[in-house]
Structure 1
């Protein structure tokens, strides 16, 4: 069953319905669902889909020809071409004025195998495809390659595309559609363990318990996610040791450049390159205090990918048990009771998404245009933070929020702690609303004493 991606399908349909040659570039990290999206879009249309292999241009041309003929022109079975130009000359003659979709997945494989390919493909577009009614879809998982070699001004293909789709992980609401039988707490945890990545969400079977799914995927030696982080790093980077060390350092709490450099024994210059690479593929993210984005002292890095975050927190110390076939024992003894604590930061991101969604659709006291977090010194000069800060830079309005993913009602202490943080963010913002988010609801005291500007939101509210 195909899930969500309504906006992406809308873009593809609208582009398909335009006359003449059109070209869409789709890119995004591995396992995100690019191929599935393309397959869903083309399933009822005259089309040919080819996924390139990590081999020579000649080998790919042979396989691509076979695929096209099988899809579009079976009567031409056995025909071969010596070069890519003759292949596309055949495609253009064969297609004539028909609306045909040509989808090339993993274009980086061919482009890296033959450095002339992109320039030759540019000429094919300009001299042949541009005169047809063909809809060309180019797709790739190597994000940095796609941005640099396909989308940038320096690319031979620059200016040829109609549009592009940067496919991102599912948000927590769409992720829940993969496990509809689970309750909202379990849905949130599944999102927290998978980071909203399509392939990982598909691994969770809601006909069995959440514990069984976690053990099956992470805590068994044959589990898909047991070796996944290392496999992905090997696909993205030539040498993975330093990248692995940086992720480990972040997982252990180092989030400033100097802290990460100290723990990994890496120069800051080399570290900048590594961090940039990890950010490009979506493993790390750069965090700034929302009202002080230009303050270099308030820059930190954290693991953005939920699967990586969970794996690096729990799997390294569990390896011996997993290899002995006792991963389930380890999970129940050392991990299960830590899940709610692990979900703390994940829940903050969910609450930030909810705040932006509600604020930008007019459901809060003002139009929220940016959401993030804030940290710094409190009124007593003691370091503190605010989980959710929503702002409107034009009207200088702000809201503050606190999030608790715990099996207990959120009470007076948390409410008063949030009210005490008023006045900490940039003074040019007027704080007009407070929001409290809770997995398990609120105490009677909070419900009766929270002022009218405070919004109380439960996890169930976030899924309605």
Structure 2
């Protein structure tokens, strides 16, 4: 069943509806649903869909030619082609002879283009000299983000300026992820999003007719579960030195987010770690987070796991391998993992709340047009009971800002069984001064899994918005 991606489908249909040549470039990390999106788009359309593999330029040409012949000239499947140009000449001729629009898809383009440096230049030549007036749409797709951005989309690319649109396919947001498990409670939908990271493939593994616990056990805590070995599989596909990448992710997952500390912990040079961190960012597993309102402060940056599934896996699976391999993964989940799910969800819930804040802020729900959302962290000066000043590290979970009128909203997020009380509100109120130097704080947002104490009903504090998890799914 195809779920979501309406904007992406509409963008593809817009290019397809042209009377002449059109091209779309699609890219995104593995398992995100690129091929599934293209397959859905191609329904009812005449198409050549070739997926390149790591077999070298010659073999890719051979397989590509066979795919072209199966669609355009099946009576000559045994024909051989000496060059890419010969195959593209056949496509050009067949498109010229037919009134029907043709879609040419080259999926996993980097596998082929990395082994044949002339491929993109050849495509550029045909676009410019043969295809501009043809009833042809081309889709170039790839999972290597760095290759697609540097070799296909950049100004140095031979095909630069030839595309009609580009789609960077991202994980589903928390609300669209819930469409995969429509009968779950709001809390269960949030946890489902947390353990899958909104990645299409992982969400599709969750049977909506089974409980959340059953799905997590089946996928993560059984040796035949798809997600039991998924992190290793992905790293093996992307990295020659899997051990180094694994060690770095372990440290980031454990909360170490500074380059020098990570390097020290794993016993590697900072330059070596930095190179691998950049590769991990290229494949969308790690991101470099900046402190909002202080983006130019290079000291205020953190490396964090972008992929929630990876965070879940590294937090729970390595310690459970022996138990899982003895067939007792279900017991481990019940005894160890389930009691910690709310704690694990803390950072996931904060990310959900930031998305909600920006979405509502764009719609003007907080009195101004929000343009950015992020996190703030730093040092807070406080007084102790004796009136003496002291400093402590602190952070603000949600900071939404309007660069237009220099206003901000700040928020606190609690994915816990306890209700948010007066003390949490007052703490957030006090932290407003940390932002006030640059932006005037106009709203205080409190996000809660378990609701709020009666104090809020009785007091009704000004400029305060109370938001439940259920509200976030409405």
Q: TM range, normalised to the smaller chain?
A: over 0.9
Could you tell me the TM-score, scaled by structure 2's length?
0.95
Q: Which residue of 2 aligns with 1:54?
A: 54
Q: Secondary structure at the match of 2:299?
A: helix
Alignment correspondent of 1:352: 354
Q: Where do residues 328-339 of structure 1 align in structure 2 (5 Å cutoff)?
A: 328-339=330-341
Distance 1:154 1:174 in 2: 36
Q: CA offsets, 1:386-424, max 9 Å, x none? A: 100010112110111000001222112211111121211
Cα shift readout 1:345-376 (whole Å, capped 9, x = no counterpart): 00000000000000001222211111001111
Deviation at 1:76, TM superposition (A): 4.5
Of 300, 303, 327, the residue aligned with 2:302 is: 300
Q: How far apart are the structure 2 equivalents of 1:240 and 1:154? A: 31
Map 1:213-362; keep pairs closer than 5 Å: 213-362=215-364
Cα distance in 2, alignment partners of residues 422 and 62 from structure 1 = 63
Partner Cα separation in structure 2 for residue 429 and residue 56 of structure 1: 55
Measure the CA separation in 2 of the matches of 1:55 and 1:383: 52
After superposition, where does 1:138-153 map in structure 2 within 5 Å?
138-153=140-155
Task: Compute the displacement of 1:426 (Å).
Answer: 4.9
In the TM superposition, 1:394-413 aligns within 5 A as 394-413=404-423
CA distance in 2, matches of 1:152, 1:237: 24
Point out 4+ residue stretches in structure 1 off by more than 6 angstroms: none
The runs of 5 or more residues in structure 1 that have no matched partner are none
Per-residue CA deviations over 1:196-243 (Å, capped at 9, x if unaligned) read: 100000011121111111111111111111111111111112211111
Mapped partners of 1:291, 1:194: distance in 2: 30
SS of 2:127's equivalent in the other structure is helix
Q: CA deviation at 1:67?
A: 2.1
Question: Shift of residue 297 of structure 1?
Answer: 2.0
In 2: Cα distance, 1:417 partner to 1:185 partner: 25
Instruction: Select 2:447's aligned residue among 423, 434, 437.
Output: 437
SS at match of 2:334: helix
SS at match of 1:359: helix
Contact 1:50–1:64 (8 Å) recurs in 2: yes
Q: Taking structure 1 as the reference length, what is the TM-score of the superposition?
A: 0.97
8 Å contact kept, 2:371–2:402:
yes
Task: Give the structure 1 partner of residue 438 of structure 2.
Answer: 428
Name the counterpart of 1:64.
64
Residue pairs, 1:346-385, within 5 angstroms = 346-380=348-382, 381-385=391-395
Cα 1:426/1:451, change in 2 over 3 Å: closer
Counterpart CA distance in 1 for 2:44 and 2:73 is 17
**Equivalence for 2:387:** none
* 2:428 aligned with 1:418: yes
Asked if the contact 1:61/1:84 (under 8 Å) is kept, the reply is yes
| Number of the residue aligned with 2:458 | 448
- Partner of residue 388, structure 2: none
Cα distance in 2 for residues equivalent to 1:118 and 1:271: 32
Counterpart Cα distance in 2 of 1:341 and 1:190: 14
1:16 maps to which residue? 16
Calculate the aligned-residue CA RMSD, in Å.
1.4
Q: Is the 8 A contact 1:291 1:426 kept in 2?
A: no
Q: Aligned to 2:210, which of 208, 211, 218?
A: 208
Query: What runs of 5+ residues in structure 2 fail to find an aligned partner?
Result: 383-390
How is 1:97-136 mapped onto 2 (pairs within 5 angstroms)?
98-136=100-138
Q: What is the count of residue pairs matched by the alignment? A: 464
Contact 1:47 1:72 in 2 (8 A): no
Structure 2 match to 1:179: 181
Aligned to 2:472: 462
1:114–1:428 CA distance, 2 compared to 1 (3 A): closer
